[in-house]
């Protein structure tokens, strides 16, 4: 899809929502260490929908932070337990750099499970990203994660399994997404009676999965990543002395020029998910 047509689509979607005077309340459980960076990335993929979203950010109160959070996070973010009496149209749970730790050993695991149970009555739809997607599938259906010897790191093309699904509306066949994790899921562990497999990849396994009732959507990549994020992670690991390959399908030419092939798909994915939230609300 041409970028100009996609931008027009976003504008028309935003105008339609404005005319209906309908706002979407969205709770974001931000599990990433750099919360403001992740928040900015999400705002980018929300794109033209931002002005019609009422966003609330929170974190698990049982998590032990390794560093003092910025003042802005302290002032604007809530502990989840402070919001338990509220209801929201949608919930997004971000990834977290804990894929090398068994689920039950993550310090906020019990609260994470509690939030999933809470969402069944308090949210219309839930979107899980990266680690949260693997953790969510494990909690709702005991789908195991498998630790990888080599990091799944780069931009990978998806194989569409459910071409007419509303989440893929207008995205075409060439869909790309960033990945950065040391674990994966085997699609043979996804039972047909519990899940719809929407897209996968031979390199990274299942990518977009949903429960049969379409309540929970699991995206095992990082569609929210901005252009230079994988570059930052690559050089961070290099400077720490880690052995890591360059991110796949990311740098172009000898000068390591970055061509962003995924954000247009990510914006469409989030826009389609928000449309599903809005329609579910109706």
Q: What is the mean pLDDT of residues 182-187?
A: 94
Please, which pLDDT band fits residue 1 given cuts at 50, 70 and 90? Answer: low
Q: Which of 21-25, 67-71, 101-105, 107-111 has the lowest mean pLDDT?
A: 67-71
Q: What is the mean pLDDT of residues 172-180?
A: 93
> Rounded to two decimals, what is the model's pTM?
0.90
Enzyme catalytic residues: 130, 222, 224
User: What is the reported pLDDT for 253?
Assistant: 82
Please, which pLDDT band fits residue 70 given cuts at 50, 70 and 90? Answer: confident
Residue 9 has pLDDT above 80, yes or no: no
Give the tens place of pLDDT for each residue, 119-141.
999 999 999 999 999 999 999 99
Please, which pLDDT band fits residue 17 given cuts at 50, 70 and 90? Answer: low
Asked whether residue 151 is marked as a ligand-binding residue, the answer is yes
Of residues 180 and 20, the one with the higher pLDDT is 180
Q: What is the mean pLDDT of residues 136-151?
A: 95
User: What is the reported pLDDT for 12?
Assistant: 65
Q: What is the mean pLDDT of residues 82-102?
A: 95
User: What is the reported pLDDT for 11?
Assistant: 63
User: What is the reported pLDDT for 67?
Assistant: 62
Please, which pLDDT band fits residue 50 given cuts at 50, 70 and 90? Answer: confident
User: What is the reported pLDDT for 5?
Assistant: 67
Burial zone of 277 (CB within 10 Å; 0-12 exposed, 13-18 middle, 19+ buried): buried
Residue 215 structure tokens: 């309540």
Domains of the chain: 3-227+261-281 (3.40.50.880)
Dist. CA 171–CA 164, nearest whole Å: 10
Compute the half-sphere exposure of residue 120: CA atoms within 13 Å on the CB side of its CA: 8
**Are the CB atoms for 92 and 32 separated by under 8 Å?**
no
User: What is the reported pLDDT for 256?
Assistant: 86
273-277: long-range contacts at Cβ-Cβ below 8 A with a sequence spacing of 24 or more? 273/90, 273/125, 273/127, 273/167, 273/217, 274/24, 274/46, 274/49, 274/53, 274/90, 275/13, 275/166, 276/125, 276/166, 276/167, 276/214, 277/24, 277/89, 277/90, 277/124, 277/125
- Using CA atoms of 191, 194, 198, 201 in order, give the dihedral in degrees to the nearest 10: -30
Give the tens place of pLDDT for each residue, 53-63.
999 999 998 88
Ranked by mean pLDDT, the top range of 14-18, 46-50, 66-70, 278-282 is 46-50
Asked whether residue 79 is marked as a ligand-binding residue, the answer is no
Residue 215 has pLDDT above 70, yes or no: yes
Asked whether residue 215 is marked as a ligand-binding residue, the answer is no
* Average pLDDT of the chain, as a whole number: 91
């Amino acid at each position: 899809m041409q970028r100009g047509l996609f931008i027009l689509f976003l504008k028309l979607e935003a105008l339609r929502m404005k005319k209906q005077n309908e706002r979407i309340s969205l709770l974001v459980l931000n599990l990433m260490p750099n919360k403001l960076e992740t928040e900015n990335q999400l705002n980018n993929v929300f794109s033209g929908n931002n002005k019609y979203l009422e966003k609330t950010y929170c974190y698990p109160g049982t998590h032990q932070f390794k560093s003092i959070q910025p003042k802005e996070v302290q002032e604007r973010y809530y502990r989840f337990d402070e919001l338990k009496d509220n209801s929201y149209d949608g919930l997004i749970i971000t990834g977290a750099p804990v894929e090398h730790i068994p689920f039950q050993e993550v310090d906020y695991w019990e609260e994470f499970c509690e939030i999933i149970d809470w969402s069944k009555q308090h949210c219309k739809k839930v979107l899980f990203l990266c680690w949260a997607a693997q953790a969510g599938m494990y909690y709702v259906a005991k789908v195991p994660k498998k630790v990888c010897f080599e990091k799944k790191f780069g931009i990978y093309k998806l194989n569409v399994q459910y071409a007419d699904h509303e989440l893929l509306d207008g995205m075409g066949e060439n869909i790309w997404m960033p990945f950065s994790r040391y674990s994966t899921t085997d699609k043979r562990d996804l039972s047909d009676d519990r899940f719809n497999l929407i897209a996968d990849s031979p390199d990274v396994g299942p990518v977009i999965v949903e429960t049969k009732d379409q309540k929970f959507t699991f995206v095992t990549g990082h569609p929210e990543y901005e252009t230079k994020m994988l570059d930052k992670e690559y050089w961070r690991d290099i400077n720490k002395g880690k052995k890591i390959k360059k991110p796949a399908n990311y740098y172009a030419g000898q000068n390591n020029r970055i061509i962003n092939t995924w954000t247009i798909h990510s914006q469409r994915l989030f826009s389609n998910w928000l449309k599903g939230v809005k329609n579910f609300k109706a």
